[in-house]
Amino acid sequence: MTLISPTNEKASRLIGIYSNLDEELDDAFRFLKPALENNEAILLIIDESLDRSIIYNRMGEEWNIGAGEINDLETRGDLIIVTSSQWFQPDKGGTLDRELIQHSWDKLVTKLSRSKNGAVRAFVSTCLFFRLGIKREFLEYEYLIPPQIDYPLIVVCAYQATDLLTYLTKEEIRMLCSCHSLLSMSNHYRIIDNPPINEHILLLYDNEDERDKLAAEYINEGLKRGQLCAYASVMNPDIRTLNNTLKSRIVDFDNNIREGNLLLVKLSTHYVGALAGNLEPFNTMERELTERAKIRQDKYVRIVADCAGFLYENKHFDECVELEQWWHQKPFEGSYLCPFRNSLCDKFPYNYHKYRVFGNHDIIIDEHGSLIGCYIPRVSTSINSILHLSVA
C-alpha cells in the first residue's frame, strides 16, 4: 500500500482488500505508522472479533513503542481505537443512521482542528456489516459519500475478499471501488488459488518458465479442490508434445489424466476456425466441458487457454478480441486463464490494440500471480468507459 500523508490535501478515501484479518492488521499498522511523524491523529476502527490486547501488542511491535507511549497517545486523543459497532452504532433492526455517523466524523475533525493535529488518518474494518446482514445499508452509506471529502482526512475502508466475493455482485464491487480514490489490494491474496466464479483472468508473462509454473499452480489448486481442469493449447495439445516443465509440475499428472480430472485440449483447429471467424469449435469445447462437469461433485471448471494469446502475437487483433469477447461471456461456471506475452504489449502495433484485449478480462496478473490491475467502470461516466486501476 502506498503510504500517503493527508496533511497537505483535504481528504482521500481508499479501499483495501485482504484475504484475512491478520493481513488487514499488517496493512493497518503500516498505513497508520507515518501519523506518528506527520502530526496526524490516528483512528483505528477494528473488527469485534479482535482482542484489544492483540492490537496493543502488535502496535507496540510494529511501531517500536512501549505500552506507556501508547497510553499517552490515547490520553491526548492522538490515538483512538474503537470497534465497528461503537463507531457506526447500528440499531437492533440493522439500520445505520447516516446523520449519526456523519456527526461522529464531524465531531472528531472539529476536536482535532482545535488541537495540534493537522489531520487524521483512519483505518476502518467493515466485516461487521456483512455478519449483521446489513451490507446494503453500509454500501449505500459508502456510495453517498463522494470520494473527496472536505476534511483533512485519509481513510482506508478495509474489506475481506471473502466478504466481497460471497455477499456482493460484480456490479456492487465495481460501484464500491469507483467511489474510492484508490484501489489497494494485499498481494498476499492469491487470485490464482481461489478465483471468483466466472473470473476471466489475463496473465502477462515475461518468462515462459514462470508462466508454466503459474499455470501449474492454478491447475494443481483446482485438482486439489476436486475441480475439472483443462489445459488448452495451440502448440502443446497432448501428452506427447506437452512441455515437460509444465507436465512435471502438475501433481500426479498421469493419474489425473487417466481419471479425467485433467483434460488436454488441442486448439490448432480452433485457431484456424477463429481466423475464419468461426468460433463453433469453442462452442463444442464448452458443451463437452459442461457435460463433464455435470457429473462431478464440484461443478467448477478451470481452464488455461493460449489461443487468444497466439492470435495477438501473430497480429490477428480483431480475431483475438472476438475470441476474448466469447470467453468474456463466461460460457461455463469456472475461471479462465489467458496467457499473453508481456514484452509485446508496449510495441507497435500491439500497444494500439492491447486495451481492447485487456478490456475483455476481469483482472490482470503478472507471472507471479500478483494483481496488476482490474477494470472498473466509473459510475460518473458511461458504462462503456473503463478505468484501469494499477495496484501497488
177 & 220 share domain: no
- How far apart (Å, rounded) are the C-alpha atoms in residues 279 and 322? 9
* Residue of 157 and 240 predicted with greater confidence: 157
pLDDT of residue 90: 61
108 & 164 share domain: yes
- Name the 3-class secondary structure at 380: coil
* Domain-located, residue 33: yes
* Residue of 154 and 64 predicted with greater confidence: 64
- How far apart (Å, rounded) are the C-alpha atoms in residues 140 and 175? 10
* Domain-located, residue 2: no
378 & 246 share domain: yes
Examine the fold and report which residue of 161, 185, 209 is the final residue of a domain before the chain moves on. Answer: 185
* Domain-located, residue 116: yes
Q: Report the CATH number at residue 336.
A: 3.40.50.300
The label of the residue with cell 484508490 reads 182
178 & 105 share domain: yes
In 168-306 the beta strands, taken as DSSP E runs, fall at: 182-185, 199-205, 228-233, 262-266, 301-305
* Domain-located, residue 93: yes
Q: Is the pLDDT of residue 11 over 50?
A: no
- How far apart (Å, rounded) are the C-alpha atoms in residues 27 and 23? 6
346-350 average pLDDT score: 91
Q: Is the pLDDT of residue 247 over 90?
A: no
* Domain-located, residue 288: yes
Cβ contacts of 272 within 8 Å, gap of 6 or more:
none
pLDDT of residue 373: 55
Domain that holds residue 255: 199-390
Q: Count Cα atoms within 13 angstroms, Cβ side, for 48.
A: 12
* Residue of 140 and 385 predicted with greater confidence: 140
- How far apart (Å, rounded) are the C-alpha atoms in residues 296 and 226? 8
* Domain-located, residue 344: yes
261 & 376 share domain: yes
264 & 380 share domain: yes
Counted domains in the chain: 2
333 & 380 share domain: yes
In single-letter form, the type of residue at position 124 comes to: V
CA 57 to chain centre: 29
67 & 205 share domain: no
259 & 346 share domain: yes
* Domain-located, residue 103: yes
Examine the fold and report which residue of 150, 185, 220 is the final residue of a domain before the chain moves on. Answer: 185
* Domain-located, residue 4: no
pLDDT of residue 72: 92
Say if CB 228 and CB 302 are below 8 A apart: yes
Place 206 in a pLDDT band, splitting at 50, 70 and 90: very high
Using alpha carbons, select from 100, 79, 81, 105 the residue that is nearest to residue 89: 100
132 & 235 share domain: no
Examine the fold and report which residue of 185, 213, 247 is the final residue of a domain before the chain moves on. Answer: 185
pLDDT of residue 224: 95
272 & 224 share domain: yes
For the chain, what is the radius of gyration of the CA atoms?
24
Q: Is the pLDDT of residue 5 over 80?
A: no
268 & 334 share domain: yes
Q: What pLDDT, in 10s, does the model give residues 366-387? A: 888 876 655 433 333 222 222 2
